[in-house]
């Protein structure tokens, strides 16, 4: 099902598409930042394919992310994730949404940096918690205090996410507003905040 959004500025879309060229746009950020939703809509606006690495990992392994974690542990999952991302980034342009831990892995981060333009969808704790607490599908949040776990992940990962080429604030506004921010960032026209 394709979500319909209000059209974004054609001029902005053209500028972003020209700036992206043949590169991939790789979205990074914590779970709940909107990488899949915003990525899908950004790809639609740019007229390029969208790939969600978690869905691709589930497709090739024939297992859910939760089942992969349970059966093989995080280390094996990250190794598979690295292989899948490396393969996906060989061609472009496309918009690629990565899992929250992908960019934290040194090997995967090198492939991502080589394979495209990185964009961090950054969100504050309240926004993330509001989004992820509605579903019980996050293996890393199956802890005694999942909100504290999410905050700990923010403290550990945000300094690494900060290495991204671009940063866009993910917040509780209409999705097309965040998509326009993403396009403006790609085009190099997003104003300083």
Residue 190 has pLDDT above 70, yes or no: no
Residue 188 has pLDDT above 70, yes or no: yes
- Identify the band that residue 1 occupies on the pLDDT scale cut at 50, 70 and 90: very low
SS3 95: strand
> What's the start-to-end Cα distance of the chain, in Å?
34
Cα(128)–Cα(126) distance, rounded to whole angstroms?
6
Give alpha helix (H) positions in the chain: 10-20, 35-46, 53-61, 65-88, 106-115, 125-132, 146-161, 175-187
93: cis peptide before it, omega within 30°?
A: yes
Farthest CA pair distance, the chain: 48
pLDDT of 32-86, one tens digit each? 899 999 999 999 999 999 999 999 999 999 999 888 888 998 888 889 999 999 9
What pLDDT score was predicted for residue 36?
Answer: 93
SS3 124: coil
For the domain 10-184, what is the CATH code? 3.40.50.300
pLDDT of 107-165, one tens digit each? 999 999 998 999 999 999 999 988 887 776 665 667 778 889 889 999 999 999 999 99
Over range 4-15, report the average pLDDT. 76
What pLDDT score was predicted for residue 136?
Answer: 67
Instruction: Enumerate the domain spans of the chain.
Output: 10-184
């Amino acid at each position: 099902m394709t979500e319909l959004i209000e059209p974004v500025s054609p001029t902005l879309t053209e500028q972003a598409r020209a700036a992206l060229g043949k590169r991939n746009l790789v979205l990074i950020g914590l779970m709940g930042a909107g990488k899949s939703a915003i990525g899908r809509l950004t790809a639609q606006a740019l007229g390029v394919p969208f790939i969600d690495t978690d869905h691709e990992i589930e497709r090739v392994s024939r297992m859910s992310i939760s089942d992969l974690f349970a059966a093989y542990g995080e280390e094996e999952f990250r190794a598979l994730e690295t292989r899948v991302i490396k393969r996906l980034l060989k061609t472009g342009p496309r918009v690629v949404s990565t899992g929250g831990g992908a960019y934290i892995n040194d090997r995967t981060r090198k492939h991502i940096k080589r394979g495209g333009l990185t964009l961090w969808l950054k969100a504050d704790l309240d926004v993330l918690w509001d989004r992820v607490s509605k579903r019980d599908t996050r293996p890393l949040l199956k802890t005694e205090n999942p909100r504290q776990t999410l905050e700990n992940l923010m403290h550990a990962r945000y300094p690494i996410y900060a290495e991204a080429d671009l940063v866009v604030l993910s917040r509780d506004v209409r999705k097309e507003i965040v998509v326009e921010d993403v396009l403006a960032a790609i085009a190099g026209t997003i104003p300083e905040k």
